Structure formats: structure tokens, C-alpha cells
Amino acid sequence: MIRTTCPYCGVGCGVQVQAQTDGWAVQGDAAHPANLGRLCVKGAALGETLSDHGRLTQPMRRARGAAPQAVSWDAALDEVAAGFARIIDTHGPEAVAFYVSGQLLTEDYYVANKLMKGFIGSANIDTNSRLCMSSAVAGHTRAFGEDWVPVSYTDVEQADLVILSGSNLAWCHPVLYQRLAAAKAARPQMRVVVIDPRRTATCDLADLHLPIRPDSDVRLWNRLLVHLAKVGAGSGDFLAGTSGADAAVQAARAEADDPAQVAADCGVQAEALARFEDWFATTEKVVTLFSQGVNQSASGSDKVNAIINAHLYTGRIGRPGMGPLSITGQPNAMGGREVGGLANQLAAHLKLESPRHRALVQQHWQAPRIADTPGLKAVDLFEALHEGRVKAVWIMATNPVVSLPDADRVRAALARAELVVVSDAMAHTDTTALADVLLPATTWGERDGTVTNSERCISRQRPFRTAPGEARPDWWILSRFAAKMGWGAHFDYTHAAGIFDEYTRLTAAGNQPDDSPRLLHLGGLSGMTAAQYDALQPVRWPVPAADTPAATAPAHYRLIATPSRSYPHAVDADWPLVLNTGRVRDQWHTMSRTGMAPTLAGHRAEPVVDLHPEDALLSGVRIGELARVQTRWGALVARTTSSGDMRRGEAFVPIHWNDRTASDARVGALVAPVVDPVSGEPAFKHTPARVVPFPVNWQGFVMSRLPVDLAHTDWWVRVQGAGHVRFEMAGRQIPDDWSAALRRWLGVPDDADWIEAADPEAGIHRAAWLVNDRLQACVFISPRADLPHREWLSGRFGERALSVPERAALLAGAPLKGGDAGPTVCACFSVGRNTLLKAIRGGCLTPQAVTAKLRAGGNCGSCLPEIRTLIADLQPVEAA
Ligand code: SF4
């Protein structure tokens, strides 16, 4: 059994992995402080993603327009080194860049940063964490002088008031949500406030939901600060050790003195706003937990500081059960920050703008040079690539063609670049398709190193399976590249332990109370042997050496004046909706891992655009049908839905789908390249948009064990099933002969066991192909979206041979005697909606009763809000 760390979100749960005859069993690590044994469904399904299918297993080079050719590591790195050297010699070090990822381990990040800033001599290394939490970094640095997170998960449990601002914790960080839910159940006096334009699943726990207008957060928090000043909630003793309080209050008063006006501007009820103000003012133990809804904004840094201001003003920080907590989206966003993975940082929280700090880092690395000006942040980096100012980019473990704003321009930028190097575990992503050189990297289960989660806890990721082919760790690839560039003596690492040791010594270098004090101090972890490193237990920093005095709180706190900024692109008659983007419960990022797990495909199988019913009506689209979502920057196609979560004037689209999983669903292509002026983080949650019908003449789905011809569709989505792949699809062209067309699309031979049924007048066609009574493929076509549930059919692919009743039921798409479970609600135990409704009708009128009967909701609990909604929806109907 191997103890390691989940590779998904910033909660950073510990997992235990056990080899089995048919794969790997994954369960939560009860000894890990982040999760105490819990896992969400994504973590629990990790075993399903441990496949070599689709992996990049050899270095490849590709002449433009030609198919990639396998080459040796030596040849590939020779080509990369020659390309970088040529461009640096001709155009200088600012003409090259690294774009890295919160998926990298701290050791990988450290080596990449050292190589770029100390040896190439540019700070052009930025990370996809820029897209996720750089506003939090900017806010922390402005308020604390350092990127310090002052709160642990235990503080969240101990608080009496927990404010969730711009965070759908229930779906995006489920294990922390479950810890919060359990704490609230144990102490019902704990209050939870959710600040979010959408009524998300997280509101299930809320005593108060403030559905604010997009990007009105700063005004709301400024209003709170005005109220705190007015009622005398300021902490005199604490404020004496801070600066900026008067200016912050003055700036807040200038725009938020009138509570009724603020409530109207934020779109919330005045009474609800007053209650929020009162609860904050009168509760000592307050934790404000914030995430991408705060960070991903043109005013993200100010939102963060407005939140921190309220905590500093009341002194509610640095003690148990209180403080602001930034929850990161990625497993190692924090570790990347620690080793300088952002273009405006040095490693170990040393400052790029400080000559003393630069000298410290250069000395530690024995580097020939050190970058002395900030590099290009993510959005600017790809714009510079488009303009030709940057000519070579090396992308590591990320997929910017899907995830960056204005993603079509990013694609064009890569097509124009002189040299594109991509190191990735997967062979086929939207970004690897544009690489000149592809380098196979290891991934979760093969990697060896450390990650830091959102509460500053450093954990080991340990390998437990052999990497396929010639895949190598990112630090190994970078070190071999450095050797080709002539810097081998400085990158002669043989194990991740040596890199970690070098990093910990840098955190201690010059870190004295009277020299260059930093809270990030890992001197107590220096000098570990490889065996000690391998056995390292989860530990929260700082970890100073025993004889070293280390700071545990910032020397000085600053309140920052945060006048509201306006978003540069307003909605208008042409673009009447605000497009918001975010995650769904069971997928993660661009689906390159979660998209492989059939368990995770059941909950949300296709991209949707969630609309208020009146906006759907005004847009001329019907709920349940396909629609085109458009902005000035791009467009996609998604199925309309109306969850009841949306305010008027807003639309929500998930971020996960890409050109590998859908014909037309990259939401990044729609997002404006607008960034926060302080942090450079893009405003992913605020782009003017419109929704128009996407007319089709037929819709359907196909499930098949074999490849399917999709050339005759106008829209499709790929859904991974167990033993088969499903394609949801739609089209305009109606074949003259549906039967022949379906056989052609599926590749059905003439003599196949092919059963079909059709009502040509109604446009309905259904067919199935069996091989020795085993289901090979099935297809369902209709003019409308009124198709059978997919779950029962999907389960038939797990059988060696269908029974006679099952064969008879195939074209109905459901068992003849009933028993179709319906769409998946609980992915952990595969419990469908119909099963839940039956149990509720049978008397299970609480989530606990449902769990006791069906187990649904009894593992990660992410589906409990939906179960509670089903119970609530059914009860009035039954009573009527
Ligand atoms: Fe992984 Fe889920 Fe834990 Fe996040 S909450 S680290 S996705 S198990």
C-alpha cells in the first residue's frame, strides 16, 4: 500500500493506493490532516484513470504540416536546446518562455524556475495557476508582505461564522465542504453565508445567500467595512500594528456609505445585507473562504484585499477559527507559488524587485545571471507569442488552447511561433496538436515529489506504477535540457529529494528576523536522506530548524483602499447576458484524466448553458434543446438548461469540454482577454454574451465498442463508458436511408446480427448490433431530445451475452418491466434519479433515510444537495 496525494483540487487529500489483480484500489488516507480518510467521487474514481491508453510514450518531433515522428530523448532535447539557444542568441532571453502548471510537483516547478530565471536569464515563466489564484497571491502580498495563507481547515471547522465568497465548495472542493457540513451539524449555531451570483449546491448549507450581481463583491465588502467602522467593531490593539486602515475606510465610505444604495447596486435585499453586516460585526470567530469567483475577475486583487480588510479591521486573523482562506483550484498551485512559478516572483518568497533577494537567489544557485524584471504573465505571454516578441515556448502539463481566454488566438499564436515544445503525459490534446517537439512526461501514480495544499500543508506524491514507454519526470527532462545548454553541473539531480533539499535551504538562506525574514521557512526539512524524504509525513509550513527563530505571522499588516473598478466591456442590447464559467461536480479541468473514468461521466455528460427561464425565452431558445453561445471573441454549442440557480441576465457554461471531447465546446474561446491589472488573472466570470438557437433536424446518441464515423453530424460530445464510448450527436442533413446511414456510421458488416425499429413518419430510428449475443453498438435517433436514459443501455455493455428479455428491451432503451435507474445522481454508488425518487416516494423523506436505504450520499456527500432538492420537489406534489 502506497500513501500519496490526490492530483486534483487544492484541498490536497491524502489517498492510499493498493495494487489488485485487476488494477488499483484507491481510498482516503485516514492519517492525512486534509481529509482524515474522506475522498470525493473524483478522488475515489482515480483507479479508473490509471491507464496507459492515450499516453505519450516516446519523444516526438514534427515538421509543420507533417505527422509526428518518434525520436530518441537525445535527439529531441538536442533539437529543443538548439532552438532555444539560437533564439536566445539572436533575440535575447526575453524571446523564449516556459508556460507551466499547477499539476507539476514542487520539485519540477523549482527546476523550471531556476533554469529560466537563473540560467536563461529571463522571468518569462508563468503558470496556469495565474488563471486560478494569482489574485489571492497579489492580495496576500499587499496585505501581509508575503504570500501567506493564515487559515487551516481546522479553523474552518472552529469558526462560528463561515463566509463562502465566490466558492461553490460543494462541487469544487467537496471534502472541505463535507468537513464544513459535519462541523455545522455538530454545532448548529455555526452560521454559513454564501456570496455568489448563482444559487449553487453550496447554498444547501447556507443560512444566508447573497446572490450578488457579478463583480459587485468589492462594493459589498466595502459596505461591510463602513458598517464595522460605524458600529465600532475595529480592534484598536490589533489595528495599532497595521497601516492603511483610515485610507481603506475612507475609500469604502466614498462609495458604500448608503446601505440601501449598495444593496440595490449589488442586487441583494437590504435586509439580507444588513443581516450579513450584523453577523460579521458581532461574531468573533469568522472565516471567509474564497475561490475563483473572487479571483477570476478584473478586480480580483481588490476583492481579495476588501475581504482581508474586514478581517484586519476587526483583528480576526491569526487566531483559531478566524481569518481569510484562499482555496486553490489545483493540487500544487501553492507549491508553485512557493518556488517562484509566477513571472513576477523569485523562489522561496524572495522578491524579484529586491537587489538583496536577487543576490541571495543567484548565490544559492551559483547562477551566471538572475532575471531582474518581471516576466510576461500568462495572457500577455501568449499575446507576445502571437505578436512575435516571444518566439519559442515550452508548455508543461497544461492545455492553454482550451483553458486560456480568447483561446482561438492562443491557438493561432502557437501556430505562428518558431518553436513550440510540449511536455505532457497525454499524446492527444488540443495543445499537443500544435507542438514541434513532444516530450513524454510522467503523471500521477508515476511522479515522485511534493505538493502543497491550500492550508500550507506539504505532502508527498509517491510513485506506485511504472511509467509507460520513455516517459520521464519533468525535473529530469528540464535537467537534461539544461545539460545540453551547458549548465549540467548546476542541474545534476539524480532524485527529487536532492531538489527538495536545495529548495528548503533556499527558504532558510538569509531568513533572519533582521535580514530578509520570510514566513516560508523549511530549514527544519533540510538535510533529509532520500529515505527520510520518501517517508516525509504531511507538514504545514513554516518548519524552521530547531535552533532557528522563525516568524509565524507577518511583521506588519496593511489594509488596502479598494475603490470599485468597472469591467471594461458592458452588456448591451447585442450582448445582453453576462457569461460566467466554472466547474461541474465530477469533472476537473480539461478532462484529460477525469474524462477517462466512466463513473465520472454519469452526472453531467455534456456541456450545458444554464439560463434563467426568462432569458431563454427572450433568446428564443427552448430549454433542453441545443443553442449557440456567442461572445465577441468566439462561440460554442451547448444544451440549454434551467437549473433555477441563475439570476436574470446571466449565463453559466462549464469549462471542461475541448476539441477532443466535443465538436464545439471550448469555453475559453469565448472569454475576453481582460485581466486584473494587479495580478494579471483573467476575468473568466464576466464576458458579455448572447445565446441563439442552434437548429438541427435530428438528435441522437450512439454507444459503441468501435470507432464511430461522425462526419455527418453537426454537433457531437464524447462520453466515456465502461467498455464502450458514447457520442451524443445532432445534425441537419437527413439521410435518404437512415438504416444504411446508421450501419455505415457504425461500420456494421452486411451479415451482422442487426436489429432495428423505425417510425419514419415521426423521424425515429433505433438499432442495435450484437456479436454472439454481446452488445457491440446501439443507436437512437429522434427529431427531438426525447431519447431514452443512457444508464440502462450503458450497463448492458458490461455483459458477456444479453438475456432474451434484455435483447427484447434493447430498442426500448429500458427494461420492459421497469427498473431503469435514470440519470446518475450519486456517482460514488451509481444511484440514479428514478431510484432516488422511488425511495423518496416510499417514505425516505430525509437525506439520512435515503443514504440508509440506498447508500447514496454516504461517501463523498457531493450529491446530498441534489438529494435534498429531490425530496423538497417531491413533497409538495405528493401533498397536493
Ligand atoms: Fe481530490 Fe476530491 Fe480531495 Fe479535491 S476534494 S483533493 S478532488 S479527493
**Nearest CA to 862 among 181, 237, 30, 36?**
181
Close Cβ partners of 805 (under 8 Å, ≥ 6 residues apart) = 815, 816, 817
**Greater model confidence, 583 or 109:** 109
The yes-or-no verdict on residue 537 having pLDDT over 80 is yes
Pick the atom of ligand 1 nearest to 453's CA. 6
Å from CA of 742 to ligand 1 middle: 41
Give the rounded percent of residues in the chain with a pLDDT score beyond 90: 80
Q: What burial letters (b/e) apply to 692-715, b meaning 16+ CB within 10 Å? A: eebebebbbbbbbeeebebeebbb
Q: Let me know: does 831 contact 864? Beta carbons within 8 Å.
A: no
425 three-class SS: coil
Q: Does the global pTM surpass 0.75?
A: yes
**Nearest CA to 676 among 688, 663, 685?**
685
CA–CA dist 131, 147 (Å, integer): 16
pLDDT at 878: 47
Secondary-structure breakdown of the chain: helix, strand, coil percentages, each rounded to the nearest 5:
35, 20, 45
CA 497 to the chain's CA centroid: 28
**Residue owning the nearest CA to atom 3 of ligand 1:** 13
**Per-residue pLDDT tens over the stretch 516-530:** 789 999 999 999 999
Burial of 541 (0-12, 13-18, 19+ CB in 10 A): buried
Q: Let me know: does 467 contact 52? Beta carbons within 8 Å.
A: no
Å from CA of 38 to ligand 1 middle: 9
Å from CA of 5 to ligand 1 middle: 9
Average pLDDT, rounded, for the chain: 93
CA–CA dist 734, 731 (Å, integer): 8
The strand pair at 286-290 and 577-582 is best described as: unpaired
Q: Which three cell numbers stand for residue 682?
A: 483573467
Q: Let me know: does 288 contact 165? Beta carbons within 8 Å.
A: yes
Q: Kindly report the backbone phi and psi dihedral angles of residue 300, in degrees, each rounded to the nearest multiple of 5, phi listed first.
A: -60, -45
Is any ligand 1 atom within 6 A of the Cβ of residue 600?
no
Is any ligand 1 atom within 6 A of the Cβ of residue 346?
no
DSSP classification of residue 609: E
**Inter-axis angle of helices 474-484 and 73-91, to 10 degrees?**
60
Pick the atom of ligand 1 nearest to 44's CA. 8
Is any ligand 1 atom within 6 A of the Cβ of residue 38?
no
Is any ligand 1 atom within 6 A of the Cβ of residue 329?
no
**Per-residue pLDDT tens over the stretch 41-89:** 899 989 988 889 899 999 999 998 888 999 999 999 999 999 999 999 9
Residue 688: asked if its preceding bond is cis (omega within 30°), the reply is no
Q: Which three cell numbers stand for residue 779?
A: 443507436
Pick the atom of ligand 1 nearest to 34's CA. 3
Question: Mean of the pLDDT values across residues 692-717?
Answer: 96
Is any ligand 1 atom within 6 A of the Cβ of residue 851?
no
**Per-residue pLDDT tens over the stretch 171-192:** 999 999 999 999 999 999 999 9
Is any ligand 1 atom within 6 A of the Cβ of residue 6?
yes
Kindly indicate the confidence band of residue 168, based on its pLDDT and cuts at 50, 70 and 90: very high
Mutate to test the pocket of ligand 1, among 4, 5, 6, 444 (most ligand atoms within 8 A of CB): 6
Q: Let me know: does 593 contact 425? Beta carbons within 8 Å.
A: no
CA–CA dist 401, 378 (Å, integer): 12
Is any ligand 1 atom within 6 A of the Cβ of residue 249?
no
CA–CA dist 197, 646 (Å, integer): 7
CA–CA dist 605, 601 (Å, integer): 5
**Per-residue pLDDT tens over the stretch 265-303:** 999 999 999 999 999 999 999 999 999 999 999 999 999
CA–CA dist 167, 192 (Å, integer): 12
CA–CA dist 205, 41 (Å, integer): 19
pLDDT at 864: 85
Å from CA of 33 to ligand 1 middle: 13
pLDDT at 880: 39
Question: Mean of the pLDDT values across residues 588-602?
Answer: 77
pLDDT at 605: 83
Question: Mean of the pLDDT values across residues 828-832?
Answer: 84
Å from CA of 173 to ligand 1 middle: 6
Is any ligand 1 atom within 6 A of the Cβ of residue 585?
no
CA 640 to the chain's CA centroid: 23
Is any ligand 1 atom within 6 A of the Cβ of residue 12?
yes
**Greater model confidence, 547 or 247:** 247
Å from CA of 6 to ligand 1 middle: 6
Cβ count near 776 (within 10 Å): 21
**Nearest CA to 525 among 350, 354, 341, 338?**
338
Sign of CA dihedral 459, 465, 469, 470: positive
The strand pair at 557-558 and 323-326 is best described as: unpaired
pLDDT at 593: 77
Å from CA of 330 to ligand 1 middle: 10
Is any ligand 1 atom within 6 A of the Cβ of residue 39?
yes
CA 678 to the chain's CA centroid: 22
**Per-residue pLDDT tens over the stretch 346-388:** 999 999 999 999 999 999 999 999 999 999 999 999 999 999 9
Among the listed ranges 31-40, 406-415, 485-494, 592-601, which one has the minimum average pLDDT value? 592-601
CA–CA dist 59, 496 (Å, integer): 22
Å from CA of 719 to ligand 1 middle: 22
Q: Which three cell numbers stand for residue 45?
A: 474514481
70 three-class SS: strand
Pick the atom of ligand 1 nearest to 860's CA. 2
Mutate to test the pocket of ligand 1, among 17, 39, 328 (most ligand atoms within 8 A of CB): 39
CA–CA dist 194, 211 (Å, integer): 8
Is any ligand 1 atom within 6 A of the Cβ of residue 327?
no
Is any ligand 1 atom within 6 A of the Cβ of residue 35?
yes
| DSSP secondary structure of 821-866 | --SEEETTTTEEHHHHHHHHHTT--SHHHHHHHH-TTSSS-TTHHH
Among the listed ranges 204-208, 736-740, 858-862, which one has the minimum average pLDDT value? 858-862
CA–CA dist 194, 200 (Å, integer): 9
Which ranges of 747-798 does DSSP label H, i.e. alpha helix? 791-796
Å from CA of 172 to ligand 1 middle: 8
253 three-class SS: helix
Is any ligand 1 atom within 6 A of the Cβ of residue 828?
no
Is any ligand 1 atom within 6 A of the Cβ of residue 8?
yes
Please count the CA atoms within 13 angstroms of the CA of 802 that sit on its side-chain side: 25
Close Cβ partners of 76 (under 8 Å, ≥ 6 residues apart) = 59, 60, 61, 437, 439
**Residue owning the nearest CA to atom 4 of ligand 1:** 9
**Nearest CA to 167 among 374, 332, 344, 307?**
307
Mutate to test the pocket of ligand 1, among 13, 29, 156, 455 (most ligand atoms within 8 A of CB): 13
Among the listed ranges 177-181, 403-407, 775-779, 858-862, which one has the minimum average pLDDT value? 858-862
Opening angle at CA 734, ends 733 and 739, nearest 5:
135
Mutate to test the pocket of ligand 1, among 15, 38, 173 (most ligand atoms within 8 A of CB): 173
Is any ligand 1 atom within 6 A of the Cβ of residue 28?
no
**Residue owning the nearest CA to atom 5 of ligand 1:** 175
CA distances 588 to 73, 209, 260, 666, Å, are 31, 26, 40, 14
Question: H or E element: which one contains 292?
Answer: helix 292-295
pLDDT at 876: 55
The yes-or-no verdict on residue 879 having pLDDT over 60 is no
Å from CA of 424 to ligand 1 middle: 22
Question: Mean of the pLDDT values across residues 560-569?
Answer: 90
